[in-house]
Amino acid sequence: MATCVRDRKPQISTPIPPAPDPQTEALRYCELGKIHLEQGRYHQALESIEQALALRPHDVESWYSRANALACLNRYDDAMESLEQAQSLIGGDDAHLWVQKATLQILLNQPEAALNSSNRAIWLSPHHTQAWLFRGVALHRLGRFGDSYRSYQRVTHPASDTSANAIRRLCHDIAPNHSAG
């Protein structure tokens, strides 16, 4: 006896979704972590960002975001390690990373190191107002009030010099032993 085709039950196959791409998943976790950071959910942010790093351990943005989450959790030493990992991956020439490093160094009561980090950020980006601000904070903590005030002035009144004057003024402002009178 032959089985009739009409007697057979149709087999419905459910398509299996493709496995998510690790790069895309890492990006999704990193973005989710940033959303949690903005919402003040720091533990969830850290969890998401660490999932991103598990998938993409060389992602600079995830290390930077991890440093932000850790800093918000008052884990400044761990935040500094994450930031230094980001800097090693990018080569150290990013003003934003240097400014964040200066911020952490201020929180860790390392004003001399914060001054150096701020100066590096300013060297990379002379009009970076946050770099001038944290430079002022570092100088203030070092008791160099005149220099601190001049840095704060660069935040409130950014320079509109010609290129030559801007470079001369920048060198003058970040000279290591300069003291305003």
pLDDT digits (tens, 9 = 90+) for 63-90: 999 999 999 999 999 999 999 999 999 9
Main-chain phi, psi angles of 142, to 5 degrees: -85, 0
Q: The CATH number of 22-92 is which of 1.25.40.10, 3.90.105.10, 3.90.1300.10, 3.90.1820.10? A: 1.25.40.10
| Residue of higher predicted confidence among 138 and 171 | 138
Architecture of the CATH domain 97-181: Alpha Horseshoe (1.25)
CA R_g for the chain: 25
Classify 1 as helix, strand or coil: coil
40: which 2 tokens? 């003040």
Continuous segment of H or E residues that includes residue 122: helix 111-124
Q: What CA–CA distance (Å, rounded) separates 117 from 150?
A: 17
pTM of this structure: 0.76
